[in-house]
């Protein structure tokens, strides 16, 4: 047995009576812990006591021995301050706070035993040991070490408004999150993935929102969520327009005013690809006599639709012919402001250039800007009046800016993506 006879045994020895010659002596055998399969399988060792940095697990060894494991998740002061413990997994009634413990797979498990207070309810929050992302802690309104967790407010910023988004703690489906443009911690600028999503106002007149419209459609401003989008409605003899277009959602640009209730759209202005307003934006042609009031103008970016007769003659209908060698025949276009411009033009007009309000030519005149890549030939340029080169958009002017080829001073902020070109 490896024992010895003595009048008294040590604390770490077993006392076996009646094994020694003298009746006053006992057989003292060293109390050693036999390694068990259960403890070995779990990666531990059986011992009477565990060393520092080890965890003792009972019922895995024989007798009064315990199974000692190396503590891979030692408790941290931050976790202990919340009355928590560092382990690999939490119980069902515990909250997991992963960033307070060391170790690769360790988390701080905290009993969520915080009682709700009326003061915290008044703030619209709940009492807890820790607050989640997107929540702001309010101290001294809950009991003990608990804090009142309230959803953090997200203030709307001008930059997010310019992007067509809204500041929120989380973004929903159909939205993309833009960081760093909203005020408030954990706030995101949620911008619709499709800026030209259909609005109820556009759907009510039988249209859909898009950046540009097809040739058999007429585009109308102010009916879509984003002011850079058009409400595209199929051309009909009696368009289903309401009496008043919806007001723009953003501040109107300096070059235009919002549509008053007594300035109503008409069928005749609709046929000219326009809308009725007191003033027109830069890049739009102002036509009189097409709206219900003399003080209203019909504003159209492209008021002259080329007729079949003009196209067959090799021309295009335009508010005026700007080339001296072009023959102008007004009778081939249906409206008095339009003329069919015909000529043996080495630079035929293209839709891309016409959309910019220009004409294709070998050389541009005074006061005109030359744009490349918009005409059929490399020797031709799209000539656009400098005043119409970068027309202001409502989104740009709403943020206090103006659209330009470049910013004139280093102190001016450049915001891309909110001008037409």
CA atoms 376, 323, 334, 382: torsion sign: positive
> How large is the average pLDDT for residues 80-86?
84
List, for residues 143-191, the tens digit of each pLDDT value.
887 888 887 667 778 788 777 778 876 677 677 888 888 877 667 888 8
Lowest mean pLDDT among 57-61, 90-94, 234-238, 272-276: 234-238
Instruction: Quote the percentage of the chain above a pLDDT of 70.
Output: 79
List, for residues 242-280, the tens digit of each pLDDT value.
434 444 333 333 333 333 345 777 888 877 778 887 777
> How large is the average pLDDT for residues 213-232?
74
Bigger pLDDT: 46 vs 241: 46
State residue 251's pLDDT score: 32
Question: Which uninterrupted H or E stretch holds 107?
Answer: strand 107-111
Phi first, then psi: what are they for 395, rounded to 5°?
-65, -40
Instruction: Quote the percentage of the chain above a pLDDT of 90.
Output: 0
State residue 259's pLDDT score: 38
> How large is the average pLDDT for residues 37-49?
83
State residue 313's pLDDT score: 78
Query: How distant, in Å, are the alpha carbons of 15, 251, 275, 293, 322 from that of 279?
Result: 109, 15, 11, 13, 25
Alpha-carbon distance of 380 to 361, in angstroms, equals 5
CA atoms 164, 168, 173, 177: torsion sign: positive
User: Considering the entire predicted model, what is its pTM?
Assistant: 0.27
Q: Report angle CA 58, 59, 62 to the nearest 5 degrees.
A: 110
Residue 412 has pLDDT above 70, yes or no: no
Q: Band the pLDDT of 411: cuts 50, 70, 90.
A: low
List, for residues 352-397, the tens digit of each pLDDT value.
777 777 788 777 877 788 888 888 777 788 888 776 677 766 667 6
Under 8 Å between Cβ of 331 and 315: no
Quickly count: other Cβ atoms within 10 Å of residue 378's Cβ: 8
β-sheet bridge partners, residue 220: 231
Residue 238 has pLDDT above 70, yes or no: no
Alpha-carbon distance of 200 to 280, in angstroms, equals 25
- Give every strand in the sheet of 230-234, ordered side by side: 208-210, 230-234, 217-220
Residue 79 has pLDDT above 70, yes or no: yes
Question: Which uninterrupted H or E stretch holds 351?
Answer: helix 351-355
Q: Band the pLDDT of 282: cuts 50, 70, 90.
A: low
State residue 414's pLDDT score: 74
Residue 35 has pLDDT above 80, yes or no: yes
> How large is the average pLDDT for residues 121-128?
83
Bigger pLDDT: 242 vs 351: 351
Phi first, then psi: what are they for 159, rounded to 5°?
-65, -40
State residue 398's pLDDT score: 63
Reading the block at residue 397, the tokens are 């002017």
Lowest mean pLDDT among 39-48, 156-165, 276-285: 276-285
Alpha-carbon distance of 255 to 99, in angstroms, equals 54
Write down the mean pLDDT value for the chain: 75
Specify the 3-state DSSP secondary structure of 36. coil
Residue 194 has pLDDT above 50, yes or no: yes
State residue 288's pLDDT score: 80
Name the one residue in this structure whose structure tokens are 């403890």.
39
């Amino acid at each position: 047995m490896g024992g010895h006879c003595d009048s008294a045994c040590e604390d770490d020895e077993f006392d076996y009576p009646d094994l020694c010659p003298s009746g006053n002596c006992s057989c003292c055998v060293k109390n050693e812990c036999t390694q068990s399969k259960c403890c070995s399988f779990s990666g531990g060792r059986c011992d009477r006591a565990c060393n520092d940095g080890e965890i003792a697990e009972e019922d895995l060894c024989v007798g009064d021995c315990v199974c000692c494991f190396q503590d891979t998740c030692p408790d941290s002061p931050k976790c202990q301050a919340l009355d928590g413990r560092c382990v690999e997994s939490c119980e069902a009634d515990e909250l997991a706070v992963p960033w307070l413990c060391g170790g690769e797979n360790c988390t701080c498990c905290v009993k969520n035993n915080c009682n709700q207070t009326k003061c915290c309810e008044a703030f619209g929050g709940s009492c807890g040991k820790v607050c989640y992302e997107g929540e702001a802690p309010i101290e001294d309104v809950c009991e003990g070490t608990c804090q009142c967790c309230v959803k953090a407010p997200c203030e709307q910023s001008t930059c997010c408004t310019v992007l067509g988004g809204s500041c929120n703690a989380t973004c929903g489906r159909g939205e993309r999150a833009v960081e760093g443009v909203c005020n408030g911690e954990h706030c995101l600028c949620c911008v619709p993935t499709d800026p030209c999503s259909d609005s109820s106002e556009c759907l009510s007149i039988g249209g859909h929102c898009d950046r540009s419209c097809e040739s058999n459609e007429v585009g109308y401003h102010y009916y879509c969520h984003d002011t850079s989008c058009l409400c595209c409605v199929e051309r009909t003899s009696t368009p289903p327009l309401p009496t008043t277009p919806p007001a723009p959602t953003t501040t109107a640009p300096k070059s235009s005013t919002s549509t008053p209730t007594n300035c109503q759209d008409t069928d005749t202005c609709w046929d000219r690809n326009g809308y009725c307003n007191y003033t027109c934006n830069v890049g739009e042609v102002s036509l009189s006599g097409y709206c219900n009031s003399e003080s209203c103008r019909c504003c159209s970016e492209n008021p002259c639709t080329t007729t079949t007769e003009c196209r067959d003659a090799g021309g295009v209908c335009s508010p005026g012919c700007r080339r001296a060698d072009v023959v102008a025949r007004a009778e081939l276009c249906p409206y008095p402001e339009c003329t069919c411009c015909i000529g043996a033009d080495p630079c035929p007009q293209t839709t891309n250039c016409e959309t910019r309000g220009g004409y294709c030519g070998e050389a541009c005149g005074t006061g005109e800007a030359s744009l490349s890549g918009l005409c059929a030939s490399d020797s031709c340029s799209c000539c656009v009046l400098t005043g119409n080169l970068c027309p202001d958009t409502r989104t740009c002017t709403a943020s206090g800016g103006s659209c330009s080829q470049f910013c004139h001073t280093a102190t001016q902020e450049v915001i891309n993506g909110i001008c037409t070109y």
